[in-house]
Amino acid sequence: MSSVPASAFLALALILFCIGLYGALTKRNTVIVLISIELMLNAVNINLVTFSKYGIAPSITGQVFALFAISVAAAEAAVGLAILISLYRTRKTVNIDEMDTMKN
């Protein structure tokens, strides 16, 4: 059984983070921005698990941190979608450019 090198996991995390960063900075749809932020958080989780397995002192702490990051990402997604639904009900759009003030 061959082992996958740490550089492959780090390259995957880099690609996911770059795709997420591109989506978060260039897209105008709020749902796409939320999905892009989730991609970036998943890239961080891949790094945490990779360094917990291949690091200088391998331990389970990276996996525990990844578990906490997943729960925070789930809460962030729930709150973000709740805010998005509320904004859509009042403004009838999910375009970020049209959500620049708190007033109607």
**pLDDT given at position 1:** 38
The answer to whether residue 104 scores a pLDDT higher than 70 is no
- The domain 28-95 having CATH identifier 1.10.287.3510: the answer here is yes
Query: What pLDDT, in 10s, does the model give residues 1-29?
Result: 348 888 999 999 999 999 999 999 998 88
Query: What pLDDT, in 10s, does the model give residues 45-58?
Result: 999 888 888 877 77
How many angstroms separate the CA atoms of 11 and 1, rounded? Answer: 22
Domain boundaries in the chain? 28-95
